[in-house]
Amino acid sequence: MEKIIDYYKKLFRRFSGASQIPRLMVFYGEENYLMERAVDRISETLSHPVSYIDASEKNFVELFEKETHVGLFAPKKVLVIKRAHKIKSANEFFSMMYKTEHRVILIYEDRKKAVSLKRSLKNVEFIEFPEMDVISFEIWIKSKLKQENKKISKETLRKLSAKLPKDLTSAQQELQKLILYLEERKVIDEEDLDVIFEEEPADFKGLLRRIFSEADERSLKEYVLLRERGFSPHAFIAEAEQFLTALYLIKEDMNEIARRKSRMRSSSKMREISSRFSARDILNLLDRVVEMDAYTKSVSFDRKVILNLLFVDLLQNA
């Protein structure tokens, strides 16, 4: 049985040859993202500009007629009719559609309406954009990551596929977040997924306040719990850097700046914590956090070891 990804590969290869692109087409199915990419490919292959017309507009027929006007030197276009199931003056529109010299693509969001048209519309090619199956979806994800020079194991890919929305437009947006988060790192691991798709954000601020105000067994238990959830050291380090910067500003009586830095309504707790340290102590800790941040971005490392080292540093100095 042909995988859906293979079906799409054949379809896009076809759209890469000008002679193979039908003049009149109906696109229908679930994959709006791939419909948009297909329009882009057709436009690129034919070197025709794209004009979008919304069939739900009251003056839709007039808008279409205006777009189909061909002057002596006017280029041919790819006319894309969005929400084609909303067409009201169907007979008038289809009559005009058959006469135009432009390529016309009707986008049907309603699959049933599109299929029912097959019997009445002649010389129009109906092209389905079915939803990706699991294997095809994973192949698509991997190809997008490869374009960004990122690598992923089979097991992590399977988990990423399960976490991503099946709508390819939304999935592309989530992948972009993941790629931005990785920065220069090439390999995606499961802990990266925990950060990007975390259901409940880790309470780093609460943990840091507890470390510096109590530094007790409860802090250690809370840290171990958060660590085992698989959160990223980058997120923890960023919060620790912001926390220590706010602590230093309060120590130096720059309270308003510190309040904004720490995103706290009241800095009374932070003032209490800052009173236990000298400005030099805070700066030394801040230097250590910055050093650890640079280390995690420059070399391969065991994330849990890095987190343990940083946590012990903070705990000992608190």
Q: Residue 243 and residue 235: Cα distance in Å, rounded?
A: 12
What are the start-end ranges of the H helices in 183-254?
190-196, 204-213, 217-228, 233-251
Q: 264 falls in which pLDDT band (50, 70, 90)? A: very low
3-class SS of residue 92:
helix
CB-CB contact of 296 with 241 (8 Å)? no
Residue linked to tokens 């976490």: 163
pTM for this entry: 0.59
Q: What is the largest CA-CA distance in the chain?
A: 83
Lowest mean pLDDT among 73-77, 171-175, 313-317: 313-317
Please state which architecture CATH assigns to domain 134-196.
Answer: Orthogonal Bundle (1.10)
Beta bridge partner(s), residue 51: 79
Q: Enumerate the domain spans of the chain.
A: 4-129, 134-196, 204-317
Q: 265 falls in which pLDDT band (50, 70, 90)? A: very low
In this predicted structure, the answer to whether residue 256 has a pLDDT above a threshold of 50 is no
Question: What are phi and psi for residue 124, nearest 5 degrees?
Answer: -125, 130
Q: Which of 235 and 263 is assigned the larger pLDDT?
A: 235
What pLDDT, in 10s, does the model give residues 215-224? Answer: 555 555 566 6
What pLDDT, in 10s, does the model give residues 169-202? Answer: 888 888 988 888 777 888 998 878 877 776 545 5
User: CATH: 1.20.272.10, 1.10.10.10, 3.90.1150.10, 3.40.50.300. Which one for 204-317?
Assistant: 1.20.272.10
Please state which architecture CATH assigns to domain 4-129.
Answer: 3-Layer(aba) Sandwich (3.40)
3-class SS of residue 264:
coil
Inter-axis angle of helices 279-298 and 303-317, nearest 10: 180
- Paired tokens of 130: 């079915």
